Amino acid sequence: MKKIFVLYFFLSLSANLMTSLYGRPKFSDRQVAVMIPKYFARDHNSPQITRTRVYGENGKKVLHLNIDVNRNRYEGQMEYAFGAMASICQYAIRPFDIFVLVMESNSRQIQTEKVEAKARCTIDHFVHKRVKGNRWSKKCIEFEKI
């Protein structure tokens, strides 16, 4: 009887450990690329997506997103897009290294910009709230006019 109890105890303990370690769902790159437009479709204030790509560059895994931005909500749409990328990509089977966001403006006054962000830092800022906004904007992202 004691052996059965010990065996049951270890089986339940290992099952709980497996659930806590591997409980989060994991998604392939293709699934992540398909989920991004669906995430944006939930919110009517989200920017329009024109392109979604997942590729490797210099040994790093990159999620690339092109969006059309409105000049009235320019800053908010950038943060929304990075927040969406961080929310979905935290569940990728193999973690992303870089998020690339190309913001194409519908106004002639604003140039098209390419913004690169470190994925881990962006996930820590938007999902886990470990990185403050000032630090994220100074250390984690780089702007480039196209």
State the pLDDT at residue 73: 74
In the block, residue with structure tokens 């991004």? 36
pLDDT above 60: residue 107: yes
Q: How many domains does the chain have?
A: 1
Is residue 73 domain-resident?
Answer: yes
Is residue 41 domain-resident?
Answer: yes
Q: What are phi and psi of 112, to 5 degrees?
A: -70, 135
State the pLDDT at residue 7: 45
pTM (two decimals): 0.79
- Asked if 115 contacts 100 with a C-beta cutoff of 8 angstroms, the reply is yes
β-pairing verdict for 98-105 and 60-69: parallel
State the pLDDT at residue 58: 92
Strand order across the 113-118 sheet: 48-57, 60-69, 98-105, 113-118, 141-145
Q: What's the whole-number mean pLDDT along residues 109-119? A: 90
- Report the alpha-carbon distance of residue 57 to residue 84 in Å, rounded: 22
Is residue 37 domain-resident?
Answer: yes
Domain span at 66? 27-145
Q: What's the whole-number mean pLDDT along residues 35-40? A: 92
pLDDT above 60: residue 75: yes
Average pLDDT taken over every residue of the chain: 84
User: CA-CA distances (angstroms) from residue 11 to 2, 3, 4, 16, 17?
Assistant: 14, 12, 10, 9, 10
At 2, is the pLDDT very low, low, confident or very high (cuts 50, 70, 90)?
low
Is residue 13 domain-resident?
Answer: no
Is residue 34 domain-resident?
Answer: yes
Is residue 101 domain-resident?
Answer: yes
pLDDT above 70: residue 21: no
In the block, residue with structure tokens 């009235």? 72
At 9, is the pLDDT very low, low, confident or very high (cuts 50, 70, 90)?
low
- 82 burial (CB, 10 Å; 0-12 / 13-18 / 19+) is buried
Is residue 47 domain-resident?
Answer: yes
Looking at residue 32, its amino acid is: V
Q: What are phi and psi of 37, to 5 degrees?
A: -60, -35
State the pLDDT at residue 4: 59
Is residue 19 domain-resident?
Answer: no
State the pLDDT at residue 71: 74
CATH code assigned at 86: 3.10.310
